[in-house]
Amino acid sequence: RPYYNSSAADKSNGLQRQSVLDPLDSFARRHIGPSSSDAQRMLETLDPPVQSLDAFVKEVLPAKILSTKDIDINGPDFDSRPEGFSETELIARLRKIAKENKVMRSYIGCGYAGTKVPEVIKRNVLEGPGWYTSYTPYQPEISQGRLESLLNFQTVVTDLTALSISNASVLDEPTAAAEAMTLSMNALPVSRQKRPNKTFLVSHLCHPQTIAVLESRADGFGIKIVVADILEDNCRNVKETGEDLIGVLVQYPDTEGGVETFQDLADVVHGQGSTLCVATDLLALTLLKPPGEFGADIAFGNAQRLGVPFGYGGPHAAFFACGDNYKRKIPGRLVGISKDRLGNKAMRLALQTREQHIRREKATSNICTAQALLANMSAFYAVYHGPKGLRAIAQKAVNGARVLEEGVRRLGFSTGTRGKGEDGRTLFETIAIEVGSGRASDIAANAAETSGINLRVLDLGRLGVTIDETVELQDLEDILAIFAKASSVSQPDIPSVNKIASDLSLSVNELAGVPSALKRTSTYLTHPVFNKHHSETELLRYIHHLQSKDLSLTHSMIPLGSCTMKLNATTEMIPVSWPEFSSIHPFVPLDQAKGYKTMIDELERDLAEVTGFDAVSLQPNSGAQGEFAGLRVIRKYQETQPGKKRDICLIPVSAHGTNPASAAMCGMRVVTLKCETGTGNLDMADLKAKCEKYSEELGAIMVTYPSTFGVFEPEVKQVCEIVHAHGGQVYMDGANMNAQIGLCSPGEIGADVCHLNLHKTFCIPHGGGGPGVGPIGVKSHLAPFLPGHPLIKTGGEKSTAPVSGAPWGSASILPISWAYIKMMGGRGLTHATKITLLSANYILSRLKPHYPILYTNAAGRCAHEFILDVRPFKESAGIEAIDVAKRLQDYGFHAPTMSWPVANTLMIEPTESENLAELDRFCDALIEIRQEIKAVERGEQPRQGNVLKMAPHSLGDLLVGEKWERSYGMEKAAYPLPWLKEKKFWPSVTRIDDGE
């Protein structure tokens, strides 16, 4: 018995307990849709039918790769129970873990600032399944709500930066810096891009984690990162870099709180034909001259302080803006305004930067999953506060900082001097205080211990304090008291904050002493949306109104191949909003984050167990980042190996676009492998030939397993062996891990590295396009090279530069995956995999009489997903995949993955969470659509203007305007199957123009 047997494991009716006193709130039966009797019916419906689930599994997976052992999840309080924690036990265990974290007041700054998350946004967006379970808005007709919200986010960014284009979020501020660097490079003439000493100049006053991430990203492109004082000597460093200059990055306000004029710098940089990039802070830009007005070409930063909690580092939305001339090259997704068939305004993703369009081996960015949910939170935060509210928050923070600065000066300290106001006072909310060499750490440690306040240790003799929205009068008093204690003034008179405030004659609305070159005079957020939702009632209605336009998992199955849209269970989501997880700054001393450490250690261990690896890094913020991190680990390892520079990366044609993109970003040369046309499997002869050919240079192969065609390739072990034999490492793309867990594992198959998408297989909700977590698992020989961090120790002994700004990436959503694993246990996880495979094969069997299916294994089975071939209908009826996709909306379903990995086909993945009734509704819909296509084929319906071509149908289409003179009735348009009369989801617009 190679894996948990299912007759015993299936607890789906919840009553097959071991003991009469076992907990009843077991989770697997809630997570898995089909009950055991449903599963039996499904097995019988398969073509050909199968007797048992375990017999079925053997038809799907090649015998050679089946695991030789059960997966074993354990840990404290867990007692090595294969059936997993009950929901109640899970919450109890998590409360214990949470208590190990100490929630303190963190004024560390460094790219993260405290914020007050409006409760109405927290409850209705962050905790609203209508928001968190939706998919990236690639089907715009059923996504107008989040598209509008993301457009609001973009407007916040363009208005505040005064640049013309913004995308809909990137992963974090440091990776945004990396994107800025590569975009700067891309903007240069090709000759300059090829210069061997091409250099990106970075201000020494940028955040340290930004500089570190730039290092890791510069590597593969052969860019030199030079950290320097940029303004020194009239920008001497810039000028001296000459033609080698790719661009310059400065931080505004800088990491120590200074605010300087960069207009002259901009002129110098532009004079050299290069790009000026500015890392900035949206809140500061409500008061200070925006980058777009002093010559910046690119501005980016962390939008976290607009209503997203610390979360021990993430997830938050970073923003990225640029001038018009960078428009075609801006990375990530962009919401644009288009029109629907009726000419109504409608939003959609512009430039369709979907992963399959990533420019593969020519790519300079691989971003795919971003931070949509968090961008929406920040957008609603801005909508709720409006321009005046945001400005008031900024103004209060500066006022607080000025009071503090004056207070510590009176106590005899000097404060940092660069980039001050005309009156010598800070221009924003961070101050640097000189406490005497060697004293900084002690004072900080003392502040934490005795006052529960975290300060930033800038260096041996200086402390940084960042005042944020949460800082009230008492907090200022408490900070001042810390410095009074540290003061050398004997018996210092602790100044009262109120007294200082009145001495300084601070104003609520006007910041004194701002030089005109630094003062914001232009307006922002003048759009009505930011000026009419300032009462809670209005904001609540706006949130719900937008939500009502969007299809999410609260409505129906989202059968997106390669995306694994499964249940995001409430119990998994609960801890995300606990302050013990959400209110921890990423750079607090480790003894304040012991709960995080416990949870992270357990999760790493469990993921290693599940994947068959020896070590795991949770740092990457997305699958694509995981690929980048994993390939970097391989490269660092290969550097230690004998032989030539091993920079060849073999990638099958069928691979996801991020694969070649990531390889290219690591400086690898991509060599494409063929697939067999009949089976879709890797062409072994081609593999062997290329391994031979590049034997000396072979760095790695990237394979997806099961393949992106949805089949368990039988020869995968052999592939690994061949590559290993030629000195290559095997990188497995784990996007399809949901088909493997408990039945086989990358480690056992022979992979050296694999990334997982926790936002697919491990239940982190998709959030409408992020957040994600893309951890990598590695074999022991690679473990030393796992990514590290400049401020907090993590990663292996020979750790490589970080790929994300926070040591553990999007730490605050890790409890979701941790909880999923702990509640499912080894048994539940394995059973879920079997049901996932069964569900896909059930749909396949039901649809096979009606549609051609692309690629199955020798037994006629698919893995967890399969490709429906609609290409023949193009000729027979003029119908394409997009028409079927849009028509599915009329039936209440989100379309499957369209035109990937094969153009003009649909890839269907049901996951284990959908129950049989829903699977059947979905099959019925596709079968009915097949009838509609037949009607066109038979000439009963016209090739244009038929119900498929006109799909989707919005209410505006049916009820408003011209007389109904179509070849089909309204009822056919709206309610093609009877159950739609009870439950119907309406697209809010008609088909949206896909051109630009």
Ligand X SMILES: Cc1ncc(COP(=O)(O)O)c(C=O)c1O
Of the pair 397, 673, the CB lying nearest ligand X is at 673
DSSP H or E segment with residue 897: strand 897-898
Query: Does 357 help bind its own copies (rule: CB under 8 A)?
Result: no
Query: Does 127 help bind its own copies (rule: CB under 8 A)?
Result: yes
Other C-beta atoms within 10 Å of 982: how many? Answer: 7
Of the pair 66, 120, the CB lying nearest its own copies is at 120
Please check whether residue 183 is in contact with residue 298, taking contact to mean a CB–CB distance below 8 angstroms.
Answer: yes
Query: Does 735 help bind ligand X (rule: CB under 6 A)?
Result: yes
SS3 state at 170: strand
Of the pair 143, 369, the CB lying nearest ligand O=C([O-])O is at 369
**3-state SS record for 537-560:** HHHHHHHHHHHCCECCCCCCCCCE
CA neighbor of 570 nearest in space, from 880, 267, 133: 133
Of the pair 199, 369, the CB lying nearest ligand O=C([O-])O is at 369
Query: Does 915 help bind its own copies (rule: CB under 8 A)?
Result: yes
The DSSP code sequence of 187-232 is TS-HHHHT-TT-EEEEETTS-HHHHHHHHHHHHHHTPEEEEE-SSH
Which does residue 32 bind out of ligand X, ligand O=C([O-])O, its own copies, none, counting CB within 5 to 8 angstroms by kind?
its own copies
* 516 vs 409: CA distance, rounded Å: 26
What the block records as the tokens of 823 is 């509640």
Which span (237-245, 703-711, 938-946, 966-974) binds its own copies, by CB under 8 A? 966-974
Query: Does 144 help bind ligand X (rule: CB under 6 A)?
Result: no
The DSSP code sequence of 716-764 is HHHHHHHHHHTT-EEEEEETTGGGTTTT--HHHHT-SEEEE-TTTTT--
* 369 vs 379: CA distance, rounded Å: 18
Please check whether residue 86 is in contact with residue 23, taking contact to mean a CB–CB distance below 8 angstroms.
Answer: yes
Which span (340-348, 372-380, 618-626, 719-727) binds ligand X, by CB under 6 A? 618-626
Of the pair 884, 907, the CB lying nearest ligand X is at 907
* 107 vs 112: CA distance, rounded Å: 9
The owner of tokens 């940084």 is 464
The helix-helix angle for 173-186 and 208-221 (nearest 10°) equals 40
Other C-beta atoms within 10 Å of 8: how many? Answer: 12
Which does residue 507 bind out of ligand X, its own copies, ligand O=C([O-])O, none, counting CB within 5 to 8 angstroms by kind?
its own copies
Backbone CA torsion sign across 169, 170, 173, 179: negative
Query: Does 937 help bind ligand X (rule: CB under 6 A)?
Result: no
Chain residues 366-385 in contact with ligand X, contact rule CB under 6 A: 368-369
**Strand pairing of 414-415 and 430-434?**
antiparallel
Of the pair 19, 491, the CB lying nearest its own copies is at 19
Residue type, 225: I
Query: Does 353 help bind ligand X (rule: CB under 6 A)?
Result: no
* 61 vs 837: CA distance, rounded Å: 10
Query: Does 423 help bind its own copies (rule: CB under 8 A)?
Result: no
The correct pick among 4, 11, 33, 154 for binding its own copies (CB under 8 A) is 33
SS3 state at 336: strand
* 30 vs 251: CA distance, rounded Å: 49
Chain residues 4-23 in contact with its own copies, contact rule CB under 8 A: 13-15, 17, 19-21, 23
DSSP 328: G
Of the pair 95, 362, the CB lying nearest ligand X is at 362
The values of phi and psi at residue 163, to 5°, are -110, 160
Which does residue 122 bind out of ligand O=C([O-])O, ligand X, its own copies, none, counting CB within 5 to 8 angstroms by kind?
its own copies
* 245 vs 205: CA distance, rounded Å: 19
Which span (244-252, 301-309, 727-735, 981-989) binds its own copies, by CB under 8 A? 981-989
* 738 vs 334: CA distance, rounded Å: 29
* 668 vs 272: CA distance, rounded Å: 30
Query: Does 31 help bind its own copies (rule: CB under 8 A)?
Result: yes
The owner of tokens 């303190």 is 104
Chain residues 667-706 in contact with ligand X, contact rule CB under 6 A: 704
Query: Does 330 help bind ligand X (rule: CB under 6 A)?
Result: no
Which does residue 403 bind out of ligand O=C([O-])O, ligand X, its own copies, none, counting CB within 5 to 8 angstroms by kind?
its own copies
Of the pair 19, 68, the CB lying nearest its own copies is at 19
Which does residue 624 bind out of ligand X, ligand O=C([O-])O, its own copies, none, counting CB within 5 to 8 angstroms by kind?
ligand X
Closest separation between CB of residue 404 and its own copies, Å?
Answer: 11
Query: Does 522 help bind its own copies (rule: CB under 8 A)?
Result: no
Chain residues 456-515 in contact with its own copies, contact rule CB under 8 A: 469-470, 472-473, 476, 497-498, 501, 506-509
The correct pick among 772, 802, 809, 825 for binding ligand X (CB under 6 A) is 772
The strand order across the sheet containing 199-203 reads: 165-166, 318-322, 298-302, 275-280, 245-252, 199-203, 224-228
Query: Does 960 help bind its own copies (rule: CB under 8 A)?
Result: yes
Q: Distances in Å between the alpha carbon of 933 and those of 141, 509, 849, 853? A: 22, 64, 15, 17
Of the pair 330, 563, the CB lying nearest its own copies is at 563
The owner of tokens 């709180």 is 257
Query: Does 654 help bind ligand X (rule: CB under 6 A)?
Result: no
Of the pair 355, 429, the CB lying nearest ligand O=C([O-])O is at 355
Query: Does 665 help bind ligand X (rule: CB under 6 A)?
Result: no
Which does residue 635 bind out of ligand O=C([O-])O, ligand X, its own copies, none, counting CB within 5 to 8 angstroms by kind?
none
Query: Does 658 help bind ligand X (rule: CB under 6 A)?
Result: yes
Close Cβ partners of 772 (under 8 Å, ≥ 6 residues apart): 369, 621, 622, 623, 757, 758, 759, 764, 810
Q: Footprint of ligand O=C([O-])O on this chain (CB under 6 A)?
A: 136, 354-355, 368-369
Query: Does 475 help bind ligand X (rule: CB under 6 A)?
Result: no
The helix-helix angle for 814-847 and 36-45 (nearest 10°) equals 40
Which does residue 704 bind out of ligand O=C([O-])O, its own copies, ligand X, none, counting CB within 5 to 8 angstroms by kind?
ligand X
Which does residue 201 bind out of its own copies, ligand O=C([O-])O, ligand X, none, counting CB within 5 to 8 angstroms by kind?
none
Of the pair 360, 921, the CB lying nearest ligand O=C([O-])O is at 360
Of the pair 347, 471, the CB lying nearest ligand O=C([O-])O is at 347
Closest separation between CB of residue 880 and its own copies, Å?
Answer: 27
Q: Where are the beta strands (DSSP E) in 791-894?
A: 853-854, 866-869
Chain residues 385-414 in contact with its own copies, contact rule CB under 8 A: 388-389, 392-393, 395-396, 399-400, 403
Q: Distances in Å between the alpha carbon of 752 and those of 507, 730, 950? A: 60, 5, 49
Of the pair 355, 647, the CB lying nearest ligand O=C([O-])O is at 355
Query: Does 64 help bind its own copies (rule: CB under 8 A)?
Result: no
Strand partners, 345: 339
Chain residues 561-620 in contact with its own copies, contact rule CB under 8 A: 567, 569-571, 573-574
The correct pick among 90, 624, 675, 923 for binding ligand X (CB under 6 A) is 624
Which does residue 793 bind out of ligand O=C([O-])O, ligand X, its own copies, none, counting CB within 5 to 8 angstroms by kind?
none
SS3 state at 904: coil
Closest separation between CB of residue 530 and its own copies, Å?
Answer: 14
Closest separation between CB of residue 228 and ligand O=C([O-])O, Å?
Answer: 37
- Report the interface residues with ligand X, using CB under 6 A: 355, 368-369, 562-563, 622-624, 656, 658, 704, 708, 733, 735, 757, 772, 774
